Amino acid sequence: MKLPEPLSQTYSTLLSEIENGQVKIPQFQRDFVWDLPKSANLLDSIFKGYPIGTFIFWRTNERLRSIRDIGNFKIPEPKDGVYVNFVLDGQQRITSLFAALKGLKIHRESGKEDDYSEIYIDLNANEDEQIVIIDITDKPEEALIKVTDLLNGTIKKLAKYDEKYHEKLDQYKNTIQSYNFSIVLLKDASIDIATEVFTRINVGGKPLTLFEIMVAKTYDLNKSFDLSEKYKQLLRDLLPHNYETISDATVLQTVSIILEKDCTRKQILKLDKNRFIDEWENTTSAIKSAIEFFKFTYRIPVSQLLPYNALIIPFAYFFYHHKDNPTGDKNLFLQDFFWRCSLSGRYSSSVESKLAQDIKKIDNILSGQLPTYEWAVSIDAEFIKNNGWFSAGRSFIKAILCIYAYQQPKSFSTNALVNISNYWLKQANSKNYHHFFPKAFLNKQGEDWFHINHILNITIVDDFLNKREIGAKPPSRYMTDFNGKNSSLRETMKSHLINDLDSFGIWNDDYDKFFDARAFAVSDEINKRIIPSNIDKQQPGVLADEFEELDNVEDTDE
């Protein structure tokens, strides 16, 4: 990269380059927020010959996603091969200047419209007074001239002003036409350097996200590719599947893993733009296939239950290379991989490096081989009892919730399928989660908090059932009520892995009996999903997130 180059431009050159599309505001810049009074103050400084600060431009032949229009002025795309100066610093000033000198109308997100043609010069004002104004109340009309009229008005129009103002009209017009705008030009820099410069300049704002940088970098007008719009469309496509919470970071990592088998920030920034664009449709198709697989094969109904968003990445990689749903050994090996990652806290840290390692395991599965694992999982009842404190954000807990959801839990009262909602699951006190032995009841029995707020005491229910029909009643009481309403209650409870109302201690409110019985039921389900490995025998399972603090989950049973 060459050293930044200082230069200056007159207003006519600067405006001409904006009009020709050679000066652009990149999309990663924030919205234009200066109001009319602030813009008028900027012009006032210019007419008085004051410095207004330096613009910092990044000159490049790359075509980034940019704000193509300013107000109601359509800014064209520059010709191929012609450089573009992207504004890294000075967006508010340059937009104000351009809007005022062109007399544009700026439409705000709030619905308000600012008319920049209504900025005036007060010809009666002295130098120590405000020359450029927007409030013309009580000002004599003959002493006011619009800034746009001063710059673009005919001699005949200007000559209509009283002769005593002619000298000021000439002075102000010459001042702005000869005003030199200070510019620092950043040349031959990569986009990551340019955006780093932008971030450091804008110390008061939020740093650019990797996604914002990639939106700019991958924009291609000729190919009609706009990553921001493509991502929004992907989320719209996933909404019917209730997987619309997939993050933009996960999508970028998926593209990078598919193209380069690596997904570090550095690698993502190095991705070839044309390859990124060309593989977008195939990549998003693979993401959709992975999500459909989670939803219909593993019966994970919503994205909030997925133990890790990152699990989408290796599965999308699989479906990128394997268009059909896996069968036989491949299906069993994939299932083993999913649950090993979910139950061990695999992606609780160092996600990028672990994904790069795990893609090799997916390659093994694609070739029909069972991968070798470097980490063990424990699937016995005691491990679940010792590590199952309930926090809806823990991957280990989410994995068990996925097992609960797989059973397609039914309403205690009607035997209808429980509606599991992404919206509900976003909340710490989710309406879908119910302590089967209510917390108030167990508190009175002297149970400790760890065993009360435990995954083995959680069932997935409907909101109405949770709040109005169960409350803080002991199980023997509310289950007796449901037994009178639901003739299939015993079958209903099997959908919650409460397999026998008698041996689970329901009728005599025996929590210890329930706790042990459900631990064995959950362990049996996990055993169906894991292929025994030597490492499981050699090492005890350790949860990567086992030292997380207990969530103080709000009581939804009372």
Per-residue pLDDT tens over the stretch 172-191: 999 998 999 999 998 888 77
In whole angstroms, what is the distance from residue 234 CA to residue 97 CA?
38
Is 171 in contact with 163 (CB distance < 8 Å)? no
How confident is the model over 301-313, as a mean pLDDT?
94
Tell me the percentage of the chain whose pLDDT exceeds 90.
57
Helix/strand/coil for 60: strand
Helices vs. strands in the chain: H and E counts, helices first: 25, 15
Q: What is the pLDDT of residues 248-272, one digit of tens each?
A: 999 999 999 999 999 999 999 889 9
In whole angstroms, what is the distance from residue 14 CA to residue 34 CA?
20
DSSP secondary structure string for all residues of 253-314: HHHHHHHHS---HHHHHHS-HHHHHHHHHHHHHHHHHHHHHHHHTS---SGGGSS-GGGHHH
In whole angstroms, what is the distance from residue 344 CA to residue 540 CA?
11
How confident is the model over 15-27, as a mean pLDDT?
84
**Residue 50 pLDDT level (bands cut at 50, 70, 90):** very high
**How many other CB atoms sit within 10 Å of the CB of residue 118?**
16
Is 555 in contact with 440 (CB distance < 8 Å)? yes
**Residue 67 pLDDT level (bands cut at 50, 70, 90):** low
Structure tokens at 79: 């010709």
Amino acid 364: pLDDT:
98
For residue 74, pLDDT beyond 80: no
How confident is the model over 360-385, as a mean pLDDT?
94
Amino acid 552: pLDDT:
35
Helix then strand then coil, % of the chain, to nearest 5? 50, 10, 40
> Nearest-5° angle of CA 210, CA 213, CA 218?
120
Amino acid 419: pLDDT:
84
* Residue among 44, 11, 210 nearest 128 (CA): 44
* 474: Cα within 13 Å, side-chain hemisphere: 15
Query: Phi and psi dihedrals of 86, rounded to 5?
Result: -90, 135
Higher pLDDT, 168 or 209: 168
Least confident range from 41-50, 80-89, 380-389: namely 80-89
Tell me the percentage of the chain whose pLDDT exceeds 70.
89
Residues 6+ apart with CB under 8 A from 96: 34, 38, 39, 42, 43
Average pLDDT, the chain: 87
**Residue 551 pLDDT level (bands cut at 50, 70, 90):** very low
Amino acid 461: pLDDT:
87
Strands 132-133 and 120-122: antiparallel
Amino acid 495: pLDDT:
96
Task: Give the bridge partners for 84, in sequence order.
Answer: 60
Domains of the chain, by residue range, sit at 5-201, 210-366, 381-538
**Residue 553 pLDDT level (bands cut at 50, 70, 90):** very low
**Residue 525 pLDDT level (bands cut at 50, 70, 90):** very high
Amino acid 239: pLDDT:
93
> Nearest-5° angle of CA 459, CA 465, CA 470?
80
**Residue 72 pLDDT level (bands cut at 50, 70, 90):** low
Q: What is the pLDDT of residues 384-434, one digit of tens each?
A: 999 999 988 899 999 999 999 999 999 998 899 988 876 555 444 566 788
Q: Give the torsion through C-alpha atoms of 42, 47, 50, 54, to 10 deg.
A: 50
> Nearest-5° angle of CA 294, CA 299, CA 303?
55
In whole angstroms, what is the distance from residue 58 CA to residue 186 CA?
5
Task: Give the bridge partners for 10, in sequence order.
Answer: 180
In whole angstroms, what is the distance from residue 176 CA to residue 48 CA?
9
> Nearest-5° angle of CA 58, CA 62, CA 67?
70
Q: What is the pLDDT of residues 455-512, one digit of tens each?
A: 999 999 876 565 566 777 899 999 999 999 899 999 999 999 999 999 999 999 999 9
For residue 150, pLDDT beyond 60: yes
For residue 2, pLDDT beyond 80: no
> H or E element: which one contains 37?
helix 36-47
pTM: 0.74
In whole angstroms, what is the distance from residue 307 CA to residue 288 CA?
17
Amino acid 191: pLDDT:
75
* Residue among 278, 237, 240, 239 nearest 258 (CA): 278
* Residue among 420, 402, 404 nearest 462 (CA): 420
For residue 206, pLDDT beyond 70: no
Amino acid 249: pLDDT:
95
One-letter identity of residue 69 = D
Higher pLDDT, 282 or 215: 282
Task: Give the bridge partners for 57, in sequence order.
Answer: 87, 185
For residue 549, pLDDT beyond 80: no
In whole angstroms, what is the distance from residue 267 CA to residue 277 CA?
16
Higher pLDDT, 168 or 196: 168
Q: In what order do the strands lie in the sheet with 55-60?
A: 5-10, 180-187, 55-60, 84-89, 23-26, 66-67
